[in-house]
Amino acid sequence: MGLLSWLILLPFLTALAVVCVPARRWMMIRWIALAGTGLHLILTGIATFRFWGLAMPDVASMKTATLMKLYLVEQVPWFQTLGIQYHVGVDGISMAMVILTSIIIFTGVLASWNVKERTKEFFVLLLTLVTGVFGVFLSFDLFLFFMFYEVAVLPMYLLIGIWGTGPKEYAAMKLTLMLLVGSAFILVGILALYHASGLHTFDLTRLAQVSYSTDLQYWVFPMLFVGFGVLGALYPFHTWSPDGHASAPTAVSMLHAGVLMKLGGYGALRIAVYLLPDGAKDWGLFFMALTTINILYGSFGAIVQKDLKYFTAYSSVSHCGFVLFGVAALNLMGVKGAVIQMFSHGIMTGLFFGLIGMVYGRTHTRMINEMGGLAKVMPWLAVCFYVGGLASLGLPGFSGFVAESHVFLGGFFGNPWTNAVAMKTLTVIATLSIVVTAVYVLRGLARVFQGPIENHHFLELTDATLTEKISTGVLVATLAFAGIMPWFLIDLIESSIMPIINRLHATGTMVAFY
């Protein structure tokens, strides 16, 4: 069994190990979970180094490639009659996503150190969910991909329904149903491609060698894009996200907003745009317009929220808008920005939801108006919140700026298939969000952490514990690392994005660049 299979399997094995421990030994359970995810982080590091060594020699040849190149591939026939394989591999985009997920689950376990209710079941489900996420990022057989996708989505129902807060049953039901409707679209899209290709295979690398008829592309592309878009909070299919995030327990919010929402952007890029370049050209402007709404709508929505989790959820809607906006821009800078934004927003929002959980655990309220002056009693958490806030408003030095500047430049530079004036106008509208984001972030920070402490109970609150410090510290360091030294991330993903862009240019008619 190869390295990548271990990456997928390790969380599941950890979950099995947790199953074997009696429920009352909850101390041991969380240590097992921490050990498993810690080990996963190390394995991910090893995989990254191996990937780097293998992929770097190919940088020059990838500049003109139209087919993606996978590394560390493992391919085993599964249901041969249907052409289903166990096919895992990794390229730069999936590597970045695996790193993100590994960091988030590790810090998520640390952040749920104090889950007392049904600890065992909680960690089992959490680890199962993350198995699905790793599976999605690493599998290159669409059937396998879809299977893992469902594995990632379904445990969410239980995790929110049981460990959540507020109207949790409603939120869990709504989230699951909306995401399942999304997956139905995806399934139809995948089956359409399976049949249209005539190859009798679900293998993504082989499906990519077929050129599909323009008509097919025209109706399958929006199905796939919307299907994935539901998970990526595409307007107007985003409303599961505020309720879902608000009701979910800390680690689940972290994982959900941090990683699961990225599956949407990942799928839209990897499957919809990669396999259906002509469809993408037809629909690019439409989805750019929708995601422009996303970006502004989310940030305006966040201004007036009263609950910290709703606040962060709306900010996520806005930030995930950047991901899909970049994808819809259909050029190197836009797509690269989208992938960087997936990474950046994952870390950032993981940090936010982790911190909100920690603050809630102390103040027992998430209402912004009921807090105030908390910086005095919890300086560590305040500093981390500030870092997260400044990163989310795109302050240079953190990864958000790298992503947003890519996306804006990508949108403005345009592509040969879309009306240039329309793209520029949409981009200019989208840039307004940097002001609106500053307004809501600073407003939130000021209400929660600054000013005098009005509730005297808050004077006795304590700052972060050691596990919380490690958890938030890792996330803050990642944000700063990716922001100060962006070239690592860019080098990692750029060669893998080139084929997607080159395919767009290789097919269909070309128009002069400007």
Summarize as ranges the residues that interact with another protein (CB under 8 A).
Answer: 174, 177-178, 235-236, 238-240, 242-243, 297, 300-301, 303-305, 314, 332-333, 336, 373, 375-376, 390, 393, 395-397, 401-402, 405-406, 408-409, 412-413, 427-428, 431-432, 434-435, 438-439, 442-443, 446, 449-453, 486-487, 490, 494, 513-514
Q: Give least dist CB 468 to another protein, A.
A: 17
Nearer CB in complex with another protein: 198/452? 452
What backbone phi and psi angles, to 5 degrees, belong to 76?
A: -130, 130
Q: Give least dist CB 426 to another protein, A.
A: 13
User: Rounded distance, CA 112 to CA 118, Å?
Assistant: 12
Nearer CB in complex with another protein: 147/434? 434
Helix (H, G, I), strand (E, B) or coil at 84: strand
Q: Give least dist CB 207 to another protein, A.
A: 28
H helical segments located in 139-276: 142-153, 155-163, 168-197, 204-207, 214-231, 240-247, 250-255, 261-267, 274-275
Nearer CB in complex with another protein: 88/500? 500
Q: Give least dist CB 286 to another protein, A.
A: 18
Nearer CB in complex with another protein: 115/493? 493
Q: Give least dist CB 124 to another protein, A.
A: 30
User: Rounded distance, CA 502 to CA 339, Å?
Assistant: 17
394 near 401, Cβ under 8 Å?
Answer: yes
Q: Give least dist CB 30 to another protein, A.
A: 28
User: Rounded distance, CA 353 to CA 260, Å?
Assistant: 14
Nearer CB in complex with another protein: 22/236? 236
Q: How far is CA 317 from CA 47, 55, 426, 430, in A?
A: 31, 33, 17, 13
Q: Give least dist CB 47 to another protein, A.
A: 24
User: Rounded distance, CA 359 to CA 499, Å?
Assistant: 44
Question: 29: part of which helix (H) or strand (E)?
Answer: helix 26-55
Question: 77: part of which helix (H) or strand (E)?
Answer: strand 71-79
The conformational region for residue 451 under phi > 0 = left, psi -120 to 50 = alpha, else beta, is left
Nearer CB in complex with another protein: 231/390? 390
Nearer CB in complex with another protein: 314/417? 314
